[in-house]
Chain A
Amino acid sequence: MDAASVIPTLRAKDYKSDVVPVWCPGCGHFGVLSAVTKALAYLKLPKERVALISGIGCSARLPAYVGAYGFHGVHGRALPLAAGLKAARPDLTVLVAGGDGDGFSIGGNHFLHACRRNMDMAYIVMDNEVYGMTKGQASPTTRPDWAKSKLTPHGTGIRPFQPAAIALAAGASFIARGYSGDPGGLTRLISEAIEHPGFGFLHVLSPCRTFRPEQSDWKHQVHRSDKGPTDDPAEAAHSIQADDGMTLGLLYARRLPVWQPDNRATATTADLEGAFVV
């Protein structure tokens, strides 16, 4: 009998923790939480085999609201934490969650290397083009003319970070885009990112109700990809560059070697303790 056959079927709500979200009512991140729990239920993953890792941000609170293992780490450092966990415990399903500030600004360097390292984990970036938690400053994905923050009263004047294009250039093996207001589609992409052998990068458009109310219009701007995913990086580069950034679906998936360190013990605990004796 395999493990799955003895696990009673859990519903999505069984994967929620009893911590009540403090997100603003109307925040897009609620939709991501709902899709994460639905994906875990769909994949019938035992809660004790799943770990959610995050940094800091409104989005990074997600692990607290899921009834699996979780680690709410340091701003921008979710990916190295997750890499360490996956290296030590390859048997766990590791999900990483955070915002565009956490992942592309302070954590941008880790993002590049996580893409090329290709460890087996899913990375969900909830992009609202703003720092929500610190009350509405421009982030790397903010458009140059957004002038609603006192810190950038004339806009940033800087071209936005392109998550999908950069992930591709950094060697990612799975790139998808979802929208928090599309529960079925997002659940599917999260399930696929989890099942993908390697680093599953999922860019989720997740509106900030409070500091970017105009993002309610994303509902009308998103559209599904009219073609299937490609495994050809040149073709993916072309379609991602030509895209308006609102195309939803799996954009690129390719089997690439998954990095997983060899965990064989090379010394006993006693050997290690011996080395510290003065």
Chain B
Amino acid sequence: MSDRLSQRIESVAELLVHALELEHQSAECYRQLAQALAVHHNHAAAALFGLLADMSDARASAVMARAEGVSLPEIAPWDFKWPAAGSPQIDCDHVEISYLMTPLQALEVCLDKETLGREFYVLVASESPAAGVRVLAAEMAEERRERVELILTWIRGERGVATRVPEDLDPPNLPG
């Protein structure tokens, strides 16, 4: 369903609205995952998603500060120019999420989401017709790269410890 590939971001204001949406929605998505996993007593994975939610909140505030004084256009939720149908991170449809996921699996989900977010900025940095947009998008891609690197470091650390599979003492009556 990737039918928006050719749409290009043409102004800094438009890029800022996309960046804000991306950060707000990624914070929402991570927080939702953190809450859902906490409800199911998977506190290790919940803590990781909670941490990522806080980091996204901080990034949203940074984008907000950058947007100070810029008149931002209002964009309908379906008119964002994401490379695929959902935003790289809003697409929080979670098929890969399980209440029994390990911290390593949680980190892998975060890595996917952060990588997609970075790819969005890289695409804008290479495809926008406006030089100012390309510069700002490249800066944002670099920030994302740092976050991707951080998660990779955590993943390496997690691979080094014994797998912590959460236990379910009362499993659902699953189809056989």
B77/A207 in contact, CB under 8 A:
no
Chain B residues whose C-beta falls within 8 Å of the C-beta of A69 in the assembled complex: none
Which residue of B77, B79, B174 contacts A210 across the interface (Cβ within 8 Å)? B174
Known: A23-B36, A183-B87. A211 touches B174 (CB 8 A): yes
Chain B residues whose C-beta falls within 8 Å of the C-beta of A30 in the assembled complex: 32, 36, 92-94
Nearest-CB residue, chain A, relative to B82: A184
Min C-beta distance of B121 to chain A, whole Å: 19
Interface presence of A219 (CB below 8 A): yes
A26/B91 in contact, CB under 8 A:
no
A187/B40 in contact, CB under 8 A:
no
Using an 8 Å CB-CB cutoff, how does the interface string of A7-26 with B read, 1 for contact, 0 for none?
00001110000001111111
Interface presence of B19 (CB below 8 A): no
Nearest-CB residue, chain A, relative to B28: A13
Interface presence of A188 (CB below 8 A): yes
Which residue of B1, B24, B90 contacts A223 across the interface (Cβ within 8 Å)? B1
Interface presence of B176 (CB below 8 A): yes
Complex Cα spacing A183 to B88, Å: 11
Q: 8 Å CB contacts to B: which residues of A26-41?
A: 26-28, 30-31, 34, 38-39
Size band of the interface chain A makes with B: 35 or more
Interface presence of B37 (CB below 8 A): yes
Using an 8 Å CB-CB cutoff, how does the interface string of A85-125 with B read, 1 for contact, 0 for none?
00000000000000000000000000000000000000000
Q: 8 Å CB contacts to A: which residues of B75-105?
A: 76-80, 82, 85-87, 90-99, 101
Q: 8 Å CB contacts to A: which residues of B93-134?
A: 93-99, 101
Chain B residues whose C-beta falls within 8 Å of the C-beta of A38 in the assembled complex: 77
Using an 8 Å CB-CB cutoff, how does the interface string of B39-80 with A read, 1 for contact, 0 for none?
110100000000000000000000000000000000011111
Nearest-CB residue, chain B, relative to A211: B175
Chain A residues whose C-beta falls within 8 Å of the C-beta of B85 in the assembled complex: 182-185
Secondary structure type dominating chain B contacts: loop
A136/B173 in contact, CB under 8 A:
yes
B99/A25 in contact, CB under 8 A:
yes
Chain A residues whose C-beta falls within 8 Å of the C-beta of B33 in the assembled complex: 25
Chain A residues whose C-beta falls within 8 Å of the C-beta of B35 in the assembled complex: 20-21
B175/A187 in contact, CB under 8 A:
no
Chain B residues whose C-beta falls within 8 Å of the C-beta of A161 in the assembled complex: none
Using an 8 Å CB-CB cutoff, how does the interface string of B1-39 with A read, 1 for contact, 0 for none?
101000000000000000000001000100011011111
A26/B28 in contact, CB under 8 A:
no
Interface presence of B157 (CB below 8 A): no
Min C-beta distance of A81 to chain B, whole Å: 27
* B contacts with A, residue count (CB < 8 A): 38
Which residue of B3, B77, B90, B176 contacts A224 across the interface (Cβ within 8 Å)? B3
Min C-beta distance of A101 to chain B, whole Å: 16
Interface presence of A247 (CB below 8 A): no
A148/B86 in contact, CB under 8 A:
no
Interface presence of B160 (CB below 8 A): no
Known: A180-B93, A185-B85. A25 touches B175 (CB 8 A): no
Nearest-CB residue, chain A, relative to B93: A181
Chain A residues whose C-beta falls within 8 Å of the C-beta of B28 in the assembled complex: 12-13, 34
Min C-beta distance of A49 to chain B, whole Å: 20
Min C-beta distance of B36 to chain A, whole Å: 4
Chain A residues whose C-beta falls within 8 Å of the C-beta of B40 in the assembled complex: 24-25
Interface presence of A216 (CB below 8 A): yes
B93/A219 in contact, CB under 8 A:
yes
Q: 8 Å CB contacts to A: which residues of B149-176?
A: 172-176
Known: A21-B35, A185-B85, A188-B76. A210 touches B172 (CB 8 A): yes
Interface presence of A42 (CB below 8 A): yes
Question: 13 interchain pairs (CB within 8 A)?
Answer: A20-B38, A25-B97, A26-B98, A27-B94, A28-B93, A34-B90, A136-B173, A181-B95, A184-B86, A184-B90, A187-B78, A210-B172, A216-B95
Given known contacts A21-B32, A181-B86, A224-B1, what 20 new A-B pairs fall within 8 Å (CB)?
A21-B35, A22-B39, A25-B40, A25-B42, A25-B97, A25-B98, A26-B97, A30-B93, A136-B175, A181-B91, A181-B95, A182-B85, A183-B93, A207-B95, A209-B94, A210-B174, A211-B172, A216-B95, A219-B95, A223-B1
